[in-house]
């Protein structure tokens, strides 16, 4: 088994057919079929179930697939490292929290794109857990996540500091009365969201039970439901500040030491730092005093 075998295996698994993999790899189907059979013989197990619609992975094939993905990503990374001449250019894929993208990155991206027009910047949004997984699997070069992060395989740099606040409808002005309500609804993003985890931990420490979760896929929908009085959420003050100033929501301060969090940029410790990534980090990184002033 070598990298070439895994490249063919990954293409067949992803496309679900030998002929489609052959077309993508610019070879003939008989060559793909022969390589897969040789790989199966070498491993002593069947990797694909053959059927009239193409192929599907066996249990053994499913176990092999993550390694094939890693090899594919490593080969792509090796190619980028070889051709990188120090001038930022080419594809740069960054992961980020939706709140960070809207609040922190939007004002900075215009300057980055103008300065480095040959960089093809792609932003992938998701939860902290999703972004850490994407970094570990080399699907993004790095990602903005909510700290802390304790992972020996990752390098984490503090970039921004956020103050988290509880957010409710504007008529719900007293926090104690709010938390004493029966059937309190928590308006949250999907599982893996660090703000959701912090809200649940805070309420558990206060002895608040019997809550119900309402999960939303977008930040706009979440905040609209909070403003309508459906429930409460936990968000950076800077995200909900405009809604508060418009009188649409109420903001409740968190206890000292609980509401301050850092947004970290994480990347693989063994990953290649491209010129494009280095230039991007130069734009978004700011000294701690500047980060505090931005809040």
CATH number of the CATH domain containing 169: 3.40.190.10
Structure confidence by residue, pLDDT tens digits, 33-61: 999 999 999 999 999 999 888 899 999 99
Phi, psi of 247 (to 5 degrees): 80, 20
Q: How many domains would you assign to the chain?
A: 3
Contact 167, 253 (CB under 8 A): no
The answer on 256 and 182 residing in a single domain is yes
Q: How confident is the model at residue 263 (pLDDT cuts 50, 70, 90)?
A: very high
Domain that holds residue 192: 163-260
- Kindly state the helix (H) or strand (E) to which residue 49 belongs, with its residue range: strand 48-51
The answer on 196 and 54 residing in a single domain is no
Q: Could you give the angle at the alpha carbon of 189 between the alpha carbons of 131 and 265, nearest 5°?
A: 25
The answer on 153 and 273 residing in a single domain is yes
Q: Which residues of 17-39 are buried (b: 16+ CB within 10 A; e: fewer)?
A: ebebbbeebeeeeeebbebbeeb
The answer on 255 and 219 residing in a single domain is yes
How many angstroms separate the first and last alpha carbons of the chain? 53
Contact 148, 249 (CB under 8 A): no
**Rounded to an integer, what is the distance from CA 247 to the centroid of its chain?**
32
Check: pTM over 0.85? Answer yes or no. Answer: no
pLDDT at 173: 67
Coil vs helix vs strand at 281: helix
pLDDT at 290: 43
The answer on 272 and 154 residing in a single domain is yes
Average pLDDT over residues 23-37: 93
Structure confidence by residue, pLDDT tens digits, 116-166: 999 999 999 999 999 999 999 888 999 999 988 989 999 999 998 889 999
Average pLDDT along the chain = 87
Is the pLDDT confidence value at 238 over 80?
yes
**Rounded to an integer, what is the distance from CA 230 to the centroid of its chain?**
27
pLDDT at 73: 80
The answer on 115 and 96 residing in a single domain is yes
What's the CA gap between 258 and 203, in Å, rounded? 12
Q: How confident is the model at residue 294 (pLDDT cuts 50, 70, 90)?
A: very low
Which tokens belong to 203? 């309420």
């Amino acid at each position: 088994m070598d990298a070439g075998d895994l490249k063919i295996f990954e293409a067949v698994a992803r496309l679900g057919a030998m002929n489609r993999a052959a077309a993508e790899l610019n070879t003939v189907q008989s060559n793909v079929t022969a390589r897969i059979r040789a790989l199966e013989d070498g491993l002593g197990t069947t990797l694909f179930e053959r059927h009239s619609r193409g192929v599907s992975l066996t249990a053994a094939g499913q176990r092999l697939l993550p390694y094939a993905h890693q090899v594919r990503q490593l080969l792509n990374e090796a190619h980028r490292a070889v051709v990188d001449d120090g001038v930022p250019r080419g594809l740069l894929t960054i992961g980020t929290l939706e709140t960070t993208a809207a609040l922190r990155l939007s004002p900075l991206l215009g300057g980055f794109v103008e300065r480095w027009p040959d960089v093809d910047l792609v932003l992938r949004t998701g939860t902290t857990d999703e972004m850490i997984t994407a970094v570990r699997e080399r699907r993004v070069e790095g990602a903005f996540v909510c700290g802390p992060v304790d992972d020996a395989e990752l390098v984490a740099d503090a970039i921004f500091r956020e103050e988290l606040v509880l957010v409710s409808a504007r008529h719900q002005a007293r926090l104690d009365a709010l938390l004493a309500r029966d059937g309190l609804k928590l308006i949250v993003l999907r599982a893996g969201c660090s703000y959701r985890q912090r809200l649940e931990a805070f309420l558990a420490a206060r002895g608040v039970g019997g809550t119900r979760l309402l999960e939303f896929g977008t930040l706009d929908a979440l905040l609209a439901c909070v403003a309508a009085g459906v429930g409460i959420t936990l968000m950076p003050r800077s995200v909900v500040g405009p809604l508060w100033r418009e009188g649409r929501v109420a903001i409740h301060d968190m206890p000292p030491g609980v509401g301050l969090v850092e947004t970290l940029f994480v990347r693989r410790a063994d990953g290649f730092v491209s010129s494009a990534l280095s230039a991007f980090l130069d734009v978004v990184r700011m000294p701690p005093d500047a980060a505090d002033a931005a809040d």
